Amino acid sequence: MNDLKSGSNLEKVLKAGHFAFTGECGPPRGANVEHLREKIAHLKGMVDAVNVTDNQTAVVRMSSWAASTIMIREGVEANFQMVCRDRNRLAMQSDILGVYAMGIRNMLCLSGDHQTFGNHPQAKNVYDIDSMQLISLVRKMRDEGKFMNDEDIDVPPRLFIGAASNP
């Protein structure tokens, strides 16, 4: 297994051909870290990784990267989610570098629920790039050490990249 891209536990489990057990944790609708820690405690030792949602159902919540960082500090591997709905390519690349710097090693790339479903239906969606382009972007940053504009990255983010399908 020396061909691991990120070295994350989730990547190791899947590369070994095992079934991965994951959970999901929606960050709180506020800055209540204790509530988040209570949720994490229920998952600790029970799953290989935990999906940390990114403003799920288009409702404002603590950011996925902040909740993922707290999760890692609590000893649970996070699967950070990023949706295309809320960020342009500059913000995405910046957040990707930041999550890697904070110790996050898994990333799930998603389009995101339309904002009219959430608690700010008047919000403008961004969709500068779609989820397939986001996957391509993260792969380019990781494997080629390049930003979307082909400039070099000094330390590429070694993330295990995932996607979801909704047939």
Convert the pLDDT of each residue in 94-149 to its tens digit: 999 999 999 999 999 999 988 999 999 999 989 999 999 999 999 999 999 999 99
**Does the structure show a pLDDT above 60 at 79?**
yes
> What total number of domains does the chain contain?
1
118 with 61: CB under 8 angstroms?
no
State percent of the chain over pLDDT 90. 93
Residues in the chain, total: 167
The chain-wide mean pLDDT, for the chain, equals 96
Q: pLDDT-derived band of residue 43, with 50, 70 and 90 as boundaries?
A: very high
CA distance linking residue 38 with residue 6, whole number of Å: 28
80: helix, strand or coil: strand
DSSP category for residue 117: G
| pLDDT given at position 132 | 96
Which distant-in-sequence residues (6+ apart) come within 8 Å of 22 by Cβ? 10, 47, 48, 49, 50, 51, 79
- Residue 4 forms part of a structural domain: no
Under 8 Å between Cβ of 83 and 51: no
Q: What is the pLDDT of residue 56?
A: 94
Averaged pLDDT, 41-70: 97
Q: Is the pLDDT of residue 1 over 70?
A: no
Rounded distance between C-alpha atoms, residue 58 and residue 116, angstroms: 8
> What is the spatial distance between Cα 158 and Cα 136, in angstroms, rounded to a whole number?
14
Identity of the residue numbered 107: M
Position 21 in a domain: no
Phi/psi of residue 107, each to 5°? -140, 130
Q: What is the reported pLDDT for 2?
A: 62
Model confidence band, residue 167 (pLDDT cutoffs 50, 70, 90): confident
Q: For residue 151, what are the domain limits? A: 9-15+27-163
Q: How far is CA 11 from each of CA 35, 89, 107, 133, rounded to the nearest angstrom? A: 28, 26, 11, 21
pLDDT value at residue 3 = 85
132 domain-assigned? yes
